[in-house]
Amino acid sequence: METIIECTDVKRIYSSRTRTGQKRETVALNGLNLQVSKGTVFGLLGPNGAGKTTTIRILSTLLIPNSGKATVAGFDIVKEASEVRKRIGLILGGERGLYGRLTGKENLNYFAAINHMSASLSRRRVDEVLKMVTLTEAKDRPVEQYSRGMRQRLHVARGLLTDPEILFMDEPTIGLDPVGAQELRQMIPPMVKEGKTIVLTTHYMSEADELSDRIAIIDRGAIVAEGTPSDIKRKFSKVRIFEVLSRQSQTNASGELASIKGVERVIAGSDGALLKLTIHVIPGTDISEKVTEILGRANVESCITREPTLEEAYLSIIK
Amino acid sequence: MFTKEASWGSPVRNFLIQADTTYRGLFGWLNWFGYISNVIFRPVVLVLIYSVLGRFSGSPEVGRTYALGIACFTMAMNILPGIAQCYTYDRTGGTLSFFFASPANRLESYLARAVLHYPNGLLSFVSTMVTAWLVVGIDFSSVNWGGFILAVFTTALSIAALGEFLGPFAIAFRDWSNIQNILVGMMLVFSGVIIPLNVFPVPIQEFARLLPITNGLVSIRSTFVGAPLAENSGYLIREGLTGLAYLALGYLGFGLFEKVARRNGALEQESL
């Protein structure tokens, strides 16, 4: 598959000064390497401050790396920034980035103008994207009167306005209600089918799992795991999951289970009247006997071993 | 992605949309209270104070000199912060990031940010002069209208050009508007608005001649009392050239500060 985005040993350091004038440096990216294939969704996951947004900002030409090289659609993001900009769309999460006193339609008209769109194309596309994000009825209202979800949908509309080849989505569903988030997620597969490439950052693991062809987990400015969602769960996950349903709840059961050798984490929940224990164990560890012993054979309704979900795998990788 | 042929829009239309958007979307005084108090009421108060002060000096000439100087200064008071807001609010509102991530024509956008602030400056000049006429009785009987209007328009252009020069600093420096306010204040002192230029040491006089208003005001004052434009045309040409220089330097600054912001992450820090 053709590589459309490539980062090689990209480093980005933010410098600032304290009130006493001392220089303070924050390493946002520490030798980032990644490749994104054309026509795929690439999910970028990581904790806050890991470097996801910095990566998106570098790839969208808003930031220059301190060292390393990055290309988008074959163009260098520093030397050929203007070529990159013609091919990308950018959706940043949050409430900033729109002209609050202008209407949704006026906002889009402006972004169409700075993208050199002709009057007829602008009119057609503005109507299309407003319809896509179900803002047609609200198009003539000032954006400052929009709800957070509506603003986020307008961000999405702006990102799609130029029908870009590559779309960077930084937490696009933040602030959307479940229906709105699902509607946005449903827009992604058809775009990929058309050949678009999407780089998506999100904190919602199910969203990344559902949409991404490949996922990279970034931590402290470097990629610590990369592969398909299944790869992340199978190869990179540092845990396997034991799921136990028990009839009787023992107050100290979780503590006792956590002390078993090979157990990383015990999460207690309920499933109706039953106690549900999700036990993260180091792969290759069999704790079923000890679990039965602690909870009592008669109490154990079921005990199954399963692959971790993406969230469980993620939590095991990012400690 | 659209083909270039299908998407390429008219530069004039795109320019006008940008002028309209940056004005209505970013001009902080664009509400009834803000507009009337800043663009009309403040200049009127200022001209009243200084013109009355001039009148007490016993010479109608001083009152006229002050009125014309303050009328020019009120143009700066409106045009400079107005243009600056186009940059500071674009940055703090997060919209500047989307502009920089776009293939927008930078020159088009740079010029568009000043267009609608220019008439605001002229409006404050007119309201100031009308006030001076009504309240202080400034005499308009001998004005060389053609020369006077040309001098005022050129001076306003030069002020707008300074605004375009100063505005882009806000891209890289978060607290730039505070510094700019000091610069606007300096214009009151050094550009001959109230204090005659010749009372300053020569180096300061030379510095003052690099500011908008300083040269144009000489033409405005002379044409107001009926002198032909040619009499002080050198000053007017210098005013126009000063404006052109600021405009060119400002455009270089716009490009430079975009690079600086991309390099030091200034826009990123704003969003933290």
Backbone torsions φ then ψ of B229, nearest 5 degrees: -60, -35
Nearest to B1 among A16, A111, A164 (CB): A164
Give residue-wise pLDDT tens across range A15-40: 877 778 888 888 999 999 999 999 99
Give residue-wise pLDDT tens across range B91-109: 989 999 999 999 999 999 9
The answer to whether A122 faces chain B, any CB pair under 8 Å, is yes
Interface of B with A in 23-52 (CB under 8 A): 24-26, 30
- Cβ contact B236:B215 at 8 Å: yes
Query: Which of A166-180, A244-258, A296-310, B238-252 is the most confident on average?
Result: B238-252
Dihedral sign for Cα B185, B191, B192, B195, please.
Answer: positive
| Chain B nearest-CA residue for A144 | B25
- Cβ contact B118:B75 at 8 Å: no
ipTM score of the complex? 0.87
Contacting residues of B for A98, CB less than 8 Å apart: 93-95
DSSP classification of residue B18: H
Nearest to B103 among A94, A116, A165 (CB): A116
Asked whether the beta carbons of residue B94 and residue A97 sit closer than 8 angstroms, the reply is: yes
Beta strand A41-45 with A197-201 is parallel
Q: In sequence order, what are the residues at sequence separation of 6 or more whose Cβ sits closer than 8 angstroms to the Cβ of residue B135?
A: B48, B51, B52
Nearest-neighbour CA in chain A from B227: distance (Å): 46
Give residue-wise pLDDT tens across range B232-262: 889 999 999 999 999 999 999 999 999 999 9
Least confident of A239-243, A246-250, B179-183, B210-214: A246-250
pLDDT of B115 > 90? The answer is: yes
| Chain B nearest-CA residue for A79 | B259
Asked whether the beta carbons of residue A114 and residue B9 sit closer than 8 angstroms, the reply is: no
Nearest to B7 among A16, A106, A117 (CB): A117
A-to-B residue pairs, Cβ atoms closer than 8 angstroms: 128
Sheet with A166-170, side-by-side order of all strands:
A88-92, A166-170, A197-201, A41-45, A214-219, A222-227
- Return mean pLDDT, chain A: 90
Give residue-wise pLDDT tens across range B128-180: 999 888 887 888 999 999 999 999 999 999 999 999 999 999 888 877 878 88
Nearest to B9 among A61, A87, A122 (CB): A122
Sheet with A3-17, side-by-side order of all strands:
A23-37, A3-17, A67-72, A75-76
pLDDT of B187 > 90? The answer is: no
∠ CA B128-B129-B131, nearest 5°, is 65
The answer to whether A54 faces chain B, any CB pair under 8 Å, is yes
Give the confidence band of B32 by pLDDT, cuts at 50, 70, 90: confident
pLDDT for position B272: 37
Give the confidence band of B61 by pLDDT, cuts at 50, 70, 90: confident
Asked whether the beta carbons of residue A62 and residue B2 sit closer than 8 angstroms, the reply is: no
Selected for mutation to probe chain A from B12, B13, B17 (highest A CB count within 10 Å) is B17
Is pTM beyond 0.90? Reply is: no
Nearest to B18 among A94, A96, A113 (CB): A113
Nearest to B9 among A61, A62, A119 (CB): A119
Mean pLDDT (whole number) for A120-149: 93
- Write the DSSP string, A142-184: BGGGS-HHHHHHHHHHHHHTT--SEEEEESTTTT--HHHHHHH
Asked whether the beta carbons of residue A90 and residue B98 sit closer than 8 angstroms, the reply is: yes
- Write the DSSP string, B139-184: --TT--HHHHHHHHHHHHHHHHHHHHHHTTHHHH-TTHHHHHHHHH
* SS3 letters across A42-71: EEEECCCCCCHHHHHHHHCCCCCCCEEEEE
Give the confidence band of B1 by pLDDT, cuts at 50, 70, 90: low
For tokens 């002198």, the residue is: B227
Asked whether the beta carbons of residue B25 and residue A101 sit closer than 8 angstroms, the reply is: yes
Of B49 and A217, the structure prediction assigns the larger pLDDT to A217
The answer to whether B232 faces chain A, any CB pair under 8 Å, is no
Interface of A with B in 187-246 (CB under 8 A): none
Contacting residues of A for B26, CB less than 8 Å apart: 99
Q: In sequence order, what are the residues at sequence separation of 6 or more whose Cβ sits closer than 8 angstroms to the Cβ of residue B40?
A: B123, B124, B127
